[in-house]
Every structure is written in C-alpha cells, then in structure tokens.
C-alpha cells in the first residue's frame, strides 16, 4: 500500500470513529504503521473532517517527522506499535460509556468488562486497565507499551480505550464493540448479570481469530 493509500484508509477510519459516536469534539486519535514510521491524526483535529494531507507522521519512537503536529498521544501509539509487531493500526477514543467504566472506583483491573455477549467475546480477549497518568505523559506510553506485548486492547484509567489491530477497519469495529459492552455493563449495574463463562469466551475468541488468520 502506498503512503497515499494509507492516508486515505486512515481518514476513512477516522470518519467512521466520529460517525459511530465514538468521539466527541477533537478527542480520539487513529494511526497506521507505514514501514518504519507511523501516520497519525494531528493534534486537536476533528476526526470527521481531517484530510489526508493534514495527517502527521512520527518515527517508531514517537518523534515528529513532518511539519503537521501529531496527536499528543503519538508516544503512546508508538510504544504500542514497538511492542506489538502484528499491529498495523491503533484507535484510541474517549467514548462515553467505556470512559465511564474507566472512572469506576471498583474495577477489575485485569479485565474491566465481562463478556456479556458473544460478539464482545469474539472481538476482545481481555481489557486490562492501565494506571492513571496525564494524557501525553511518557509513563503512560511505557505502561501501555508493556501491556501491548500481551494485550491488543487496554483501558486507560479515567481516560478511554486503546485498540491495536492488524487492520484499521477492525480496530474501529473493536472500539465500537467495547463501547457497546461498556454501555450494557453500566445498564446492568445493580442487577445480577450472567456473562459468558471463560471457556465459551475463549472458544469464541479463538474461533474468530483462526478464521481471520485464514482470510488474511
Ligand atoms: Zn486520549
């Protein structure tokens, strides 16, 4: 894929994030790997209107390579890419319900959301919580990077989810699934709920990833 193709693909994904209600104002950022560099949405951009020529590029260390100023989360994206070679794209949002879950006092930090539906189980293996650090803080990048060795999806405390994926379209789908499950989880607060058991969850996730591997 050429640089122009990657930029077009990234812009389509950015629009989808906004259209699916996963980002408000100028929040959220999307990136794709382009060889030894990363193309990423610029700082303070509206994902609905950003144009391919406005995208920024950073090195795999997160250092800017273009005049366009990258999102301040670029170091976090770079750390996840360095630690997760199979990832080609990252979506990070502040979507409402997932962020609400990230603010709960009582949270399972190993896995913030139960697999309430089969669709969540197919897409999300686990959603560990990363300790709070201010946005753009290098420590946040280090923590997310080390979690990325084992996990494709993480939830930043008091902040929002980060999704790494082999394709940017899939990363947006997973971001949407996390948001929907967070909404269900909050709807069910105060009532006993019956998530899928661990065996069924694992079976669904592995069957889905095996199928995706075949079609890739
Ligand atoms: Zn953020």
- 28 part of a folded domain: yes
- 163 part of a folded domain: yes
Q: How far is the CA of 7 from the centre of ligand 1 (A)?
A: 21
Q: How far is the CA of 92 from the centre of ligand 1 (A)?
A: 6
- What is the Cβ-side half-sphere exposure of residue 24, based on CA atoms within 13 angstroms? 6
- 208 part of a folded domain: no
Q: How far is the CA of 162 from the centre of ligand 1 (A)?
A: 9
Structural domains counted in the chain = 1
- 186 part of a folded domain: no
- 82 part of a folded domain: yes
Q: Note the pLDDT tens digit of each residue in 105-154.
A: 999 999 999 999 999 999 999 999 999 999 889 999 999 999 999 999 99
97: pLDDT strictly greater than 90 = yes
176 included as an active-site residue: no
Residues 6 or more apart from 79 whose CB is under 8 A from it?
Answer: 62, 141, 142, 144, 145, 148
Residues 6 or more apart from 6 whose CB is under 8 A from it?
Answer: 32, 34, 39
- 47 part of a folded domain: yes
Residues 9, 53, 54, 73: which is the catalytic one? 73
Q: How far is the CA of 139 from the centre of ligand 1 (A)?
A: 14
- 158 part of a folded domain: yes
Q: Note the pLDDT tens digit of each residue in 44-66.
A: 999 999 999 999 999 999 999 99
Domain carrying residue 14: 3-113+126-179
- 31 part of a folded domain: yes
Instruction: Provide the CATH number for the domain around residue 41.
Output: 3.40.225.10
| Distance, CA of 164 to CA of 153 (rounded, Å) | 6
Q: Dump strand ranges (E) for the chain.
A: 29-34, 37-40, 56-59, 89-92, 129-130, 153-156, 160-165
75 included as an active-site residue: no
């Amino acid at each position: 894929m050429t640089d122009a193709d990657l930029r077009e693909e990234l812009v389509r994904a950015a629009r989808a994030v906004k259209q699916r209600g996963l980002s408000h104002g100028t929040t959220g950022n999307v990136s794709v790997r382009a060889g030894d560099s990363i193309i990423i949405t610029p700082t303070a951009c509206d994902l609905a209107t950003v144009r391919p020529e406005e995208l920024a590029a950073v090195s795999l260390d997160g250092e800017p390579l273009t005049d366009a100023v990258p999102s301040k989360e670029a170091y976090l994206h770079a750390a996840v890419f360095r630690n997760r070679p199979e990832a080609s794209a990252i979506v990070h949002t502040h979507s409402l319900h997932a962020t609400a879950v990230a603010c709960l006092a009582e949270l399972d930090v190993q896995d913030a959301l139960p697999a309430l539906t089969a669709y969540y189980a197919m897409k999300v293996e686990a959603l560990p919580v990363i300790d709070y650090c201010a946005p753009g803080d290098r420590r946040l990048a280090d923590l997310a990077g080390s979690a990325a060795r084992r996990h494709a999806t993480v939830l930043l405390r008091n902040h929002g989810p980060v999704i790494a994926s082999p394709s940017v379209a899939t990363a947006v789908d997973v971001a949407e699934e996390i948001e929907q499950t967070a909404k269900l989880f909050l709807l069910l607060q105060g009532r006993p709920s019956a998530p899928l058991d661990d065996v069924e969850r694992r079976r669904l996730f592995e069957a889905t990833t095996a199928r995706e591997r075949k079609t890739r």
